[in-house]
Amino acid sequence: MVDDNMDRFGFTISTGRQIDYESNDRSIAEYILDKEPSFRLCIECGGCSATCTTGNFTGFSLRELNILIKRGENDKVRQNLKKCMLCGKCTLVCPRGVNTRNIVVLAKEAFQKSDEYAI
Amino acid sequence: MNMRFDPFVIPFNIGLYFILVYVVTRCVIWFRDLSRTDKLRLQRGFFGVAFVLSLKEIFMESLIHRKILKTNIRLGYMHMSLAFGWFLLILFGTIEADIFGAKHLNAPYKAIFFRFFNPDHGRTGFEAAYGFLMDLILAFILSGLLLAVTKRFYSKIVGLKKTTRLKITDKIALTSLWLIFPSRLLAESFTCGAYGTGSFLTGSLGAWLATFLPAQQLAYPFWWLYSISLGTFFILLPITRYMHIPTELFLIFMRNSGIKTGDHSGTYTEVQTYSCSSCGICIDACQLNFSAGITNIQSAYLMKAIRNKDDVSEIADNCLMCGRCDQKCPVGIELSPIRMIQRRGGEAENDIRNIYKGYFRSRQTIISEKAIGSSNFNFLPETDPEKADILYFAGCMTHLTPAIKNSMIKIFEASGVKYSFIDEQGGVCCGRPLMLAGQDKEARELINYNSQMIWKSGAHTLVTSCPICYKVFKESYYLDVEVLHHTQFIKRLIDDGSVKMNFLHKKVVYHSPCELGRGSGVYDEPKEVLNHVSRLERSNFEDGNSLCCGGSLANMKISSQNKKKIALDAANELTKNNPDILATACPLCKKTFSAVTYARVADISEIVAEALIVKPVNKNSGSHINSIKELANI
Amino acid sequence: MNKHVVVIGGGVAGLEVAGQLSKAGIDVTLIEKETKTGGNLNKWYKLFPDRRKSSEIKEYLDGITLNRGINLLTNTTIEMFNRNRNHLLITTNGGKELVADAIVVATGFDLFKSARKEEYGYGIYDNVFTSADLEEMFRNGKIALANGTVPETIGIIHCVGSRDEKAGNLYCSKLCCVTAVKQAIEIREYLPESKVFCFYMDMRMGGAFYEELYREAQEKWGVSFIRGKVSEASETIEGKLLIKVEDTLAGRPLKMKLDLLVLMAGMEMSEGGKKIAGIGGLNTGENRFFAATDNHFGSNISNIDGIFYAGTCTAPMNITETISHARAAVVEVIDYLKDGR
Amino acid sequence: MNLEGKKVIWNDYQKEIADDKYYYVRSCVRQNFFPGSETAFLKIMREELNKDVYEHPCHTTCTGIGYHSDIIPVETTMTVVARQFAIMTEAGYENLMPSCITSFGLYTEILDTWHHFPEVEEKVRRQLKKATGREFKKPKNLAHASDVIFKFRKEIGAKAKYKLINKKTGEPLKVVDHIGCHYAKMFPSKGVGGAEYPYVLTGMIEEWGGQIIDYPERRHCCGFGFRQYLVQANRGFSIACSKEKFESMKPFKPDMIITNCPGCPMFLDRWQYVINEMEGKRYGQNGEGIPVFTYEEVAGLVLGYDPWDLGLQMHQTDCEPVLQKMGIEYSPEDKYNLEIRPSYTESHKLINV
């Protein structure tokens, strides 16, 4: 269909980057919030991403993943989560005492449980 | 007069023969399920010294309960009086029946209900003396029983802060157990009262009862009660925690034959879980309990949950893996390894529990292998480390405590050994944290990556500052490289005189990190190093008994508040006599403690660096070459 | 004879000044344009950070003023200033002449007129309210939409009329962030089922116990904080408010449907203040608030001899700061009245 | 929705609109794609309202399209605009009335720039003098053609043969207004009703019996965006913008869209067709599109002009549904019957001056 449009018109209707809060699925976030309330305390300071070992090698940012989970933008999270080495430096630097490692573990769990996202 | 048989013994007989058959079958099944090697071990053990050792241990632990006695005298006495006392009762009862009975080699019930079948036995002389002995043993048991009953209702008495919760079948079994000895007492007393026999306990009690009660008529029902409670207890045994009584014997024998828990659940794990008597000593040992007030995840509960085939994931993950319970467990169950197995496993399927399942259990295995999906560390760059004899791997945590890192560099430079700091720019995680989260597959990827790097460097020694790394390098990396924690390395430098240092006149107390101490058995070197440079003071929590700082990476679930509570308690304990320095050998411990205490917290490497006499070292002096040789144990 | 000081403005600052001066034995006339004193304090039901009732503050202030029988002129405004040697002559709207040895200007602030941020549709969309409107709802103990139903999703927009060149205010009103946090918590208390979202540019939790309140809002009340300035609101067919914002921390634009929108209106120099500045020739700053002669030592002193400032007519302040500033003004006045006169 | 609130804002945005003697400047896009509109406009101004509307054949594009596509430097644009002013000055007119919103925006922007930077104006004057020997006065009044129609909406309403009312049901037609971005978004004070809640078209609709509907993406660009459309690679974005608007207005079941910018009707009209071709989506009722009109066309319909004289056959989304609702008689067979129509020759005459 899309290619078909390309042939006929030379372009297709672009899809926006806008997060549509209502239509997004935040079940993953709810699963985590339920089991790890400290998830709420994140103020997106980025300390975790700054110290992150994986972050040294890739664009992996736990801060970003945290917020994407909360917004229900789960695809990117699913693709990146497994890069985490669980080394725990993030937990050590977090100024809000967020149990970051557990968030990663729970997120993996949650994805595992919801078929549509299974890693 | 001498009766042959009476119907009231039937319940007892049923129970007795049932349990005998049951236990034998279970042992056969367990044996059948063992791996080939373990089977061999067991066979060899049976005809070897292991058998003798086991008998000794069984006597010491299963009857006398030495370990429990050591940790908690009252609790120990309780277990001993019941176990050992009952054993004696049976032993001497059998002998009694054999000597004084109508004929030799009686059926068991003849011994158990001897007094019933020989009511007017024991009036004079040797018989009386023997009767006295039997009464004595009974009194011994009853005293223990008294403790047990009070413990149930008021556990403080036996010095336990927390006592395990029970399921209904346990309750029934417990009551029947409690009824056994009182009913025997009364049954014998009434009989004695009726016939005017019996010794100081049964005799006098019987005589007194007979003064106002129809002893003759009352004796019989109590003999029934005695028999029934025995029977019930035996029947229920397999589906209650009391299964630990027979299982423990088998466990002891297996252990002495050299069988280990390993990484996957199997017979040995199963036997261990059934050997747990839920004595609750692990609950007392657990800092999550006495510092953080978390009281539902201790090993006793884990064992129970596994036995009941509950979903244990919540319990299994909420643990510091400090290993204190392993150290304290009187039955010697390898609790942490079992917990790790649970973490590796996915959720166990919740199968319907019923009496039948209780008796004929399916094999104790993790149902679904925890599925985390293919992990993805292929972003890690190709490594080409510089060649070196000795590698220094600081570890992730050490990069958050630069003082340690810098001290180590200072020490390396001073010693003049040729080394290479492989994770100077921040390295790749050692893999242990993933393992502790039960994600072995992922951990293996990192292990392979680091192994590559270490192998390419051609080093013969690997020094790390982080006990977490140390443990995994030592246990899970297959390298022919000697792995040393920096405390061990410093010890060597001191021994072969590669470094000289002043004596700091400072009061130091040492906190042994879990992963280094209990985890890897490195207790002495750190203390020796500290002794060498400072005044090392003893604390109440040394070596195997040392506390956890609470910062452990092993606990995924604990909140930062609870971590703090644990750290605070531990720090307060250690700094009781206000030392100048609270020394540790782990960056994580250091970080955790620094946050909660005003005392100076320092890693041993820092203290050493402080005391170091930095002298220009002649890089190619012979002595230096030797020291390298020694280091490498060439 | 006794000294006489006229205090203009019967809000927190004015009342405190009047009270302290009369305590010091000085005759005070307090001029208030409204029928009753209290000023903006009356608009608030409970106060951050400890959520005490504003009426308690009011009671205290009345206690040190009205009940001490100071001369209070309500429904009164100033029409003219004149100087006669050391005396300041004031003409009120009623044509009343007052002779004062000193004047303390405590004209306070006005809330930013939220309708000026047209894109948020205050006064146009039925379910857009200001922080003050919400306080009124709290006072009446009922949070409801225009059609009387209970809102489920509530959005709070920070910095409405503050730090906004388009609104002509470059400064930070300081109190809106913490007010938003306080009101978010209160909403969750009234409506446990509701979800509350705060849209902020920066969380400015400068004051004592502000950050703790912020933490409580997240931890205990599950309030979501989204970093981004809402660009526009519009009404959907089902009467919900569709807002557009960039979730700057996710780096993505975001649209969301809300039942109710609360605008954290900023603080502006009051109209009364502007008028006084005009007729009295008092200096005002870029931010249109009164300009004190020295930011550090003279924050109460105006460019005209004998006229002093107290409270939010000089800059946004919370009540604690306002009262301190008022007391400082009293010290300046007494000092001024002493020397040479 | 609280109309009172809107009125408050409308009061803040009153603008002065000259009432006669206009210098009319045609629109590149409009005269090509909706020629009927400008013809109708002139007819209305001259014949219905008896206004003096002057236009000069030598006036050129304002270069707005090139300017907004970043291919013409602003000074060049200013000089070209200065030339239009010069021609107007020479003709003795002072009230500039562009047909194009982008021109309107551009003129406003230039005048504002000159106001703040007189030296720029001076430079432009020199350049124009050098290039063409012309000199100019700045217009006394600058109003978009739609402003003027807004000004005389009542007069037009008074002469109305049809109203924006569904003849059958008697219900007012639901009308979506779309204001060209360059009308007021740059200079809200220069637009009737400002930028957030523009009143210029709303006023006409109300006056002529229709009911204006407010929908979430009201403010959104039609999708032209100049380089967004002109560069083929960007067209996906252009059409996405239009789609966003259609999706947003659909639930309100609008009967028609009315615009005051030449580009907007073009895109709102043509993109409806393309979206339907691509995704088989239509946004009007019973499988039809939503007819899109220029304000001139609507005024013409209200005054009872023949739809085909207005050039409604040039629309890609059929207008018949609205014609039927309004109860306008029209002959379907004449739709594409391009015999000379008097109005055309008339407009040709004008151009051949």
* Measured CA distances, D157 to B142, D148, D207 (Å): 110, 14, 6
C126 touches chain D (CB under 8 A): yes
A101 touches chain B (CB under 8 A): yes
- Of B303, B338, B336, nearest to B321 (Cα)? B336
CA dihedral in degrees (C175, C176, C181, C183; nearest 10)? 110
Dump pLDDT digits (tens) for B244-286: 988 998 899 999 888 888 777 788 888 999 999 888 899 999 9
List, in order, residues 6 or more apart from B68 with CB less than 8 Å away.
B75, B76, B79, B80, B279, B281, B330
Query: Is C114-266 the same fold as C4-108+270-338?
Result: yes
Kindly tell me whether chain D and chain A come into contact, counting contact as 3+ Cβ pairs under 8 Å: yes
- Please name the member of C249, C256, C257 whose beta carbon is closest to the beta carbon of A44: C249
A41 vs C217: CA distance, rounded Å: 9
Search chain C and give the residue with CA nearest A76: C250
List, in order, residues 6 or more apart from C3 with CB less than 8 Å away.
C26, C27, C101, C102, C337, C341
Kindly tell me whether chain A and chain B come into contact, counting contact as 3+ Cβ pairs under 8 Å: yes
CB contact under 8 A, C234 and D217: yes
Dump pLDDT digits (tens) for A54-111: 998 898 999 999 999 999 999 889 889 989 999 999 999 999 999 999 999 999 989 8
A96 touches chain C (CB under 8 A): yes
Is the pTM above the cut of 0.80? yes
B533 vs B258: CA distance, rounded Å: 41
Domain stop point among D122, D145, D168: D145
Inside any domain, residue D256: yes
Q: What is the mean pLDDT of chain B?
A: 87
CB contact under 8 A, B379 and A108: no
Q: Are residues D121 and D262 in the same domain?
A: no
Q: Are residues D186 and D81 in the same domain?
A: no
B49 vs B47: CA distance, rounded Å: 7
Q: Are D68 and D102 in contact (CB under 8 A)?
A: yes
A contacts of B446 (beta carbons < 8 Å): 85
- Please name the member of A19, A22, A44 whose beta carbon is closest to the beta carbon of C257: A22
Say which CATH architecture domain C4-108+270-338 belongs to.
3-Layer(bba) Sandwich (3.50)
CB contact under 8 A, A18 and C219: no
CB contact under 8 A, A9 and D278: yes
Q: Ramachandran region of residue B65, left (φ > 0), alpha (ψ -120 to 50) or beta?
A: left
The CA distance from C226 to the nearest CA of chain A, in Å, is 10
C contacts of D199 (beta carbons < 8 Å): none
Q: What is the reported pLDDT for D11? A: 87
Mean pLDDT of B442-452: 92
Question: In this structure, what DSSP letter does residue C3 have?
Answer: -
Mean pLDDT of B212-237: 91
Mean pLDDT of C176-195: 96
Inside any domain, residue D353: no
- Domain span including residue D256: 152-334
CA C93 to chain CA centroid, nearest Å: 25
Number of domain units in chain D: 2
- The CATH class of B390-495+618-632 is alpha beta
Q: Domain ranges in chain B?
A: 63-238, 260-359, 390-495+618-632, 507-611
Q: Are residues D174 and D106 in the same domain?
A: no
Q: What is the reported pLDDT for B100? A: 81
D91 vs C153: CA distance, rounded Å: 61
List, in order, residues 6 or more apart from B367 with CB less than 8 Å away.
B345, B346, B347, B348, B349
- What's the pLDDT band for B375 if we cut at 50, 70, 90? low
- Cβ-in-10-Å burial (0-12, 13-18, 19+) of D48 comes to middle
C84 vs B295: CA distance, rounded Å: 81
Dump pLDDT digits (tens) for B135-187: 999 999 999 999 888 887 776 665 555 556 667 888 888 889 889 999 999 99
Whether B216 shows a pLDDT value over 60: the answer reads yes
What b/e sequence results for C285-302 when a residue is b if at least 16 CB atoms lie within 10 Å of its CB, and e otherwise?
eebbbbbbeeeeeebbbb
> What are the backbone dihedrals phi and psi of residue B354, each rounded to the nearest 5 degrees, phi first?
-150, 170
Residue where the block lists tokens 């063992």: B34
Q: Are B482 and B476 in contact (CB under 8 A)?
A: no
Q: Are residues D63 and D173 in the same domain?
A: no
Instruction: Please give the helix or strand (H or E) that residue D295 lies within, else none.
Output: helix D295-302
A114 touches chain B (CB under 8 A): no
- What's the pLDDT band for A117 if we cut at 50, 70, 90? low
Dump pLDDT digits (tens) for B466-498: 999 999 999 999 888 999 999 999 999 999 999
D235 touches chain C (CB under 8 A): no
| Best of B314, B377, B441, B593 to mutate (most A CBs within 10 Å, chain A) | B377
A109 touches chain C (CB under 8 A): no
Q: Are residues D103 and D187 in the same domain?
A: no
The CA distance from A5 to the nearest CA of chain D, in Å, is 6
Sign of the CA dihedral with B144 first, then B145, B148, and B154 last: negative
Q: B623 versus B606: which is more confidently predicted?
A: B606
- Please name the member of A37, A43, A71 whose beta carbon is closest to the beta carbon of C250: A71
C223 vs C260: CA distance, rounded Å: 15
Is the peptide bond preceding residue D291 cis, with omega within 30 degrees of 0? no
Percent of residues in chain C assigned helix, strand, coil, to nearest 5: 30, 30, 40
- Cβ-in-10-Å burial (0-12, 13-18, 19+) of D259 comes to buried
List, in order, residues 6 or more apart from D11 with CB less than 8 Å away.
none
D220 vs D185: CA distance, rounded Å: 11
CA B312 to chain CA centroid, nearest Å: 18
Q: What is the reported pLDDT for B160? A: 58
- Please name the member of A18, A38, A96 whose beta carbon is closest to the beta carbon of C253: A18
Percent of residues in chain B assigned helix, strand, coil, to nearest 5: 60, 5, 35
Task: State the CATH number of the domain containing residue D227.
Answer: 3.40.50.11810
* Measured CA distances, B246 to B240, B276, D14, D141 (Å): 12, 11, 98, 107
- Of B275, B183, B189, nearest to B232 (Cα)? B183
Q: What is the mean pLDDT of chain C?
A: 94
The residue type of A118 is A
Dump pLDDT digits (tens) for C260-269: 999 999 999 9
Pick the CATH number of B507-611 from 3.40.50, 1.10.600, 1.10.3470, 1.20.950: 3.40.50
Q: What is the reported pLDDT for A112? A: 84
Dump pLDDT digits (tens) for B142-152: 999 998 888 87
C contacts of A20 (beta carbons < 8 Å): 255
Q: Domain ranges in chain C?
A: 4-108+270-338, 114-266
Token representation of residue D23: 């210098």
C235 touches chain D (CB under 8 A): yes
CATH annotation of B260-359 = 1.10.1060.10
- What's the pLDDT band for B373 if we cut at 50, 70, 90? low
Query: Is B507-611 the same fold as B390-495+618-632?
Result: yes
CB contact under 8 A, A64 and C250: yes
Q: Are B271 and B250 in contact (CB under 8 A)?
A: yes
Q: Are B315 and B296 in contact (CB under 8 A)?
A: yes
Q: Are residues D32 and D120 in the same domain?
A: yes
Whether B622 shows a pLDDT value over 50: the answer reads no
Instruction: Please give the helix or strand (H or E) that residue C4 lies within, else none.
Output: strand C4-8
Domain stop point among D111, D145, D179: D145
Gap between the terminal Cα atoms of chain B: 84
The residue type of D190 is K
pLDDT string in tens for chain D (353-residue length): 788 888 888 888 999 999 999 999 999 999 999 989 999 999 999 999 999 999 999 999 999 999 998 899 999 999 999 999 999 999 999 999 999 999 999 999 999 999 999 999 999 999 999 999 999 999 999 999 999 999 999 999 999 999 999 999 999 999 999 999 999 999 999 999 999 999 999 999 999 999 999 999 999 999 998 888 888 889 999 999 999 999 999 999 999 999 999 999 999 999 999 999 999 999 998 899 999 999 999 999 999 999 998 999 999 999 999 999 999 999 888 888 766 565 555 554 544 44
Q: Are residues D128 and D159 in the same domain?
A: no
On the CB side of B616, how many CA atoms lie within 13 Å of its CA?
A: 1
**Domains in chain A: ranges and CATH:** 25-117 (1.10.1060.10)
Dump pLDDT digits (tens) for C272-299: 999 999 999 999 999 999 999 999 999 9
D contacts of A9 (beta carbons < 8 Å): 235, 274, 277-278
Task: State the CATH number of the domain containing residue D80.
Answer: 1.20.1050.140
Kindly tell me whether chain C and chain D come into contact, counting contact as 3+ Cβ pairs under 8 Å: yes
Instruction: Please give the helix or strand (H or E) that residue B392 lies within, else none.
Output: strand B390-393
Inside any domain, residue D282: yes
Q: Are D217 and D244 in contact (CB under 8 A)?
A: yes
Quickly list DSSP for chain A. -HHHHHHHHS---PPP--EETTTS--HHHHHHHHH-GGGGG-----HHHHH-HHHHHSS--HHHHHHHHHHT-HHHHHHHHTT-----HHHHH-TT---HHHHHHHHHHHHHHSGGG--
Inside any domain, residue D7: no
Question: Count of A–D CB contacts within 8 Å?
Answer: 29
Beta bridge partner(s), residue D53: D22
Q: Are residues D160 and D139 in the same domain?
A: no
Q: Which chains touch C (3 or more CB pairs under 8 A)?
A: A, D
Q: Are residues D192 and D330 in the same domain?
A: yes
Mean pLDDT of C63-91: 89
B396 vs B423: CA distance, rounded Å: 9
Q: Are residues D137 and D158 in the same domain?
A: no
Quickly list DSSP for D229-276. HHSGGGHHHHHHHHHHHHHHHGGG--SEEEESSSHHHHHHHHHHHHHH
**Parallel, antiparallel, or unpaired for β C252-258 and C241-247?**
antiparallel
Q: What is the reported pLDDT for B541? A: 93
- Of C207, C211, C230, nearest to C160 (Cα)? C230
Q: What is the reported pLDDT for B478? A: 87
Domain stop point among D145, D177, D207: D145
Search chain D and give the residue with CA nearest C116: D9
- The CATH class of C114-266 is alpha beta
- Of B213, B211, B196, nearest to B120 (Cα)? B196
Q: Are residues D164 and D267 in the same domain?
A: yes
Calculate helix-pair angle for D200-207, D295-302, nearest 10 degrees: 10
CB contact under 8 A, A12 and D236: yes
Q: Are residues D134 and D157 in the same domain?
A: no
- What's the pLDDT band for B367 if we cut at 50, 70, 90? very low
The length of chain D, given as a count of residues: 353
CB contact under 8 A, A89 and B591: no
Q: Are B266 and B33 in contact (CB under 8 A)?
A: yes
